[in-house]
């Protein structure tokens, strides 16, 4: 029940998801794969942690030195991994869209000429 003095987070979220007609919108995520942002953050975080471990093994015990190793590893290793994740996501998204629209199915999509020698 949504009253004027009901300010719980659930009540405000429910009120925000209700449009002018009173109908409530429910968004459902069908795929279970993580979003691109997750993969980018994971690549950067793993590279940063790897850099701090390398600093520890190199006996760099100063926090500034460990931070330097971590940031350097995140830039030198994490950013290329994040770019690779973005490329893979873009290719997968393009394939999903083509499959959804029917373009490229059975080797030929809409708008292509028939194969040479085939009579249609």
Tokens for 116, please give them: 């040479």
pLDDT at residue 26, as a whole number = 81
* Residue 90 maps to a domain: yes
Quick: pLDDT tens for 1-32.
455 554 555 555 555 555 567 788 887 877 78
Q: Across the chain, what does the average pLDDT equal? A: 80
Asked whether residue 6 is assigned to any structural domain, the reply reads no
Contacts of residue 3, defined as CB under 8 A and 6 or more positions apart, other chains included, come to none
Task: Examine residue 91 and state whether it is found in any structural domain, yes or no.
Answer: yes
> Which residue segment(s) compose the domain that 80 sits in?
34-104
Can you tell me the mean pLDDT for 92-101? 88
Number of structural domains found in the chain: 1
In a domain, residue 13? The reply is: no
Query: Does the predicted model carry a pTM greater than 0.85?
Result: no
């Amino acid at each position: 029940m949504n009253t004027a003095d009901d300010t719980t987070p659930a009540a405000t979220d429910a009120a925000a998801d209700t449009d002018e007609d009173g109908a409530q919108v429910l968004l459902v995520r069908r795929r279970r794969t993580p979003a691109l942002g997750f993969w980018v953050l994971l690549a950067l975080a793993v590279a940063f942690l790897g850099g701090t471990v390398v600093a520890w093994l190199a006996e760099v015990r100063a926090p500034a030195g460990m931070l330097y190793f971590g940031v350097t590893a995140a830039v030198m290793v994490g950013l290329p991994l994040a770019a690779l994740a973005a490329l893979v996501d873009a290719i997968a998204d393009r394939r999903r869209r083509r499959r959804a629209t029917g373009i490229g199915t059975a080797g030929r999509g809409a708008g292509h000429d028939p194969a040479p020698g085939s009579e249609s």
